[in-house]
Amino acid sequence: MTLHQNLSVHLTSDLGQAAAVVGAILGLRTVAQQGMFFVGGTIADRIGTRRTVLVGCAVRVSGLVCLGISTSVLGAAIGAVLTGFAGALFSPAVEAELARSSDTADASHARIDAFALFNAFGQIGAFTGPLLGALLLNVDFRTVAFTGAAVFVLIGAAQWRWMPAHRPPPTRGSVLSGWRDIARNRVFLSFSLAVGVSLVAYNQLYLLVPIELDRGWGDQEPLGVLLAASSLVVVIAQMRVTAWARRRSPTRAMTLGLGTVALGLVAIGTAAAVGSRAATLVGALLFVLLLATGQMITGPTARAAIPGFAREQHLGSYYGVYASIGGILVLPASAAVGAVVDTVPDTALGRAAPWGLLAGLVLVAAASLGPIMRRQDRRGQTAARA
């Protein structure tokens, strides 16, 4: 978020680029990260987590230096792609290592706790990042980019010094065999699509919520506070929510989590239908809080379940594909939501329509989790007998 803010200003103010070019470069960065998670995960399976993270730090430093020295659109695009791909190297590698390191006698609970803690710490960055980015908007972009590069040099040095140098677990077959295994695993792909719908709902913080605030409140000024509140709620409440979720079965917990997200969509859709300033603000706040709560329930539980789908093999690739599916799903869903917003009339029903459609999509995903997890249970039983 911090890089997006400052890079956008740099492209428009320093390089004089049009909004279309800015959007294309920011989109390239997002695709280089979201769409390439599966590549990062595969690399982690082959060379190990520590090496992958160190390569990611080097790629991120290279991208930031490229952005700092570049005065052309091409250079900015290359730098943006490099910084995005670095993120694709970090995430699946770390998640696979978390799953392996928490493989204890009580692996399911240990993994849920590990991913919950990981999520809480990640939200500290999400909370402070936009605030720091706003403070740095008036600082020369070269200074920001080079400072960021220096920070990642230090992060890389710390990882080199303290991250355990475990050998990558033995992986059967070639890279393509791992991808073929995932492609044939329809239960896992269905699971990833179902849970990935929550990311579509999350993306509305940047798509529909600003539109709703403009229409009902008069401007987007409350948005920053709402985003900060969302991250702060996760930092404070994640472990408590996880303790509650662990007392339910994984299927029930994830279904309740997606149901909570759908309830948030219904709340802001109802507020949109009312249309008053007070209703708009209350609806947006309820959406943010319920969305955060639903994701706190669903996210760690879903990630902890992935080793079962993978049968403890190709974990990096599985986590990478899981993340890529969620990220890629956002693109057509966002286009469809935008088309609905442009088409419906400015009436109570029309204002509520996109929110209602999204709530329906999330509820369908929630309802599908039961059959998906039952198929996974049968698959596990068949493998155990084999």
Report the 10 Å Cβ neighbour count for 69.
12
pLDDT of 171 reads 58
Q: DSSP readout, 266-280?
A: HHHHHHHHH--HHHH
The C-alpha R_g of the chain, in whole angstroms, comes to 21
What is the chain's mean pLDDT, rounded? 88
Which residues are within 8 A (CB) of 61 and not within 5 positions of it... i.e. 6 or more apart?
149, 152, 153, 156
Top-confidence range, 13-22, 128-137, 212-221: 212-221
pLDDT of 337 reads 87
Residues 66-109: tens digit of each pLDDT: 999 988 999 999 999 999 999 999 889 889 888 888 766 566 68
Mean pLDDT computed over 217-235: 87
312 sits in the region (left: phi over 0; alpha: psi -120 to 50; else beta) called: left
Mean pLDDT computed over 215-235: 88
Flag whether pLDDT at 2 surpasses 60: no
Report the share of the chain in percent with pLDDT over 90. 54
> Which of 326, 52, 254 is CA-nearest to residue 168?
52
pLDDT tier for residue 353 given thresholds of 50, 70 and 90: very high
Backbone φ and ψ for 207, nearest 5 degrees, come out as: -115, -70
Taking the chain, what is the end-to-end CA distance rounded to the nearest angstrom? 48
Q: Please check whether residue 365 is in contact with residue 258, taking contact to mean a CB–CB distance below 8 angstroms.
A: yes
Mean pLDDT computed over 154-159: 93
Tokens of 214: 């403009």
Mean pLDDT computed over 298-308: 95
Tokens of 64: 């930031």
- Residue ranges and CATH numbers for the domains of the chain are 1-170 (1.20.1250.20), 173-386 (1.20.1250.20)
Residues 258-279: tens digit of each pLDDT: 999 999 999 999 999 998 999 9
Q: Please check whether residue 327 is in contact with residue 199, taking contact to mean a CB–CB distance below 8 angstroms.
A: yes
Mean pLDDT computed over 43-47: 90
pLDDT of 104 reads 62
Residues 116-136: tens digit of each pLDDT: 999 998 888 777 776 676 677
pLDDT tier for residue 328 given thresholds of 50, 70 and 90: confident
For residues 297 and 22, which has the higher predicted lDDT (pLDDT)?
Answer: 297
